[in-house]
Amino acid sequence: MECFLEVFDKNRIEALTADREFIGKEWLSWLRTNQIRYVFRVRENGQYISNARGKMVKIQELFRPLAIGSHVSLSQRRIGTKGEIFNVVGIRNKKSELAVLIHSDEIKNPAEIICSKMAN
């Protein structure tokens, strides 16, 4: 990423996208510090997220009522054992598979960005 930014301006990046395997605390911190827009998918199994009352619950439980073919934005929520705060969106596709996304503040429609990447 640093090599890319030596050649191109960070404003040319609509959003950096990544799947569950590529997320790490240091990486997210670096992106935030450098104001790089991102949309990442997080692990749905075994991961915890704060509900509307602030209680930590399993991601699968929180998004269980999400209808097939729909998505919901939860705004800022705590995720994981450290309870770091992220903007969160849940998507349930037509096969009833759940995808939970975290994204930077500047991203207005993370579901659209991820869905367009998944279609390619």
| pLDDT value of residue 57 | 95
15-66 residue pLDDT tens = 888 777 677 778 888 888 989 999 999 988 888 999 999 999 999 999 999 9
- What's the whole-number mean pLDDT along residues 79-86? 85
Domain that holds residue 64: 14-119
Q: Is residue 62 part of a domain?
A: yes
Domain count, the chain: 1
Q: Is residue 7 part of a domain?
A: no
Q: Is residue 115 part of a domain?
A: yes
Q: Is residue 45 part of a domain?
A: yes
Round the average pLDDT of the chain to a whole number and report it.
86
Q: How many CB atoms lie within 10 A of CB 7?
A: 7
Can you tell me the distance from the alpha carbon of 44 to that of 30, in angstroms, rounded to the nearest whole number?
Answer: 23
Residue 119 has pLDDT above 70, yes or no: no
Q: Is residue 2 part of a domain?
A: no
| pLDDT value of residue 120 | 46
Can you tell me the distance from the alpha carbon of 97 to that of 45, in angstroms, rounded to the nearest whole number?
Answer: 12
pTM, two decimals, is 0.84
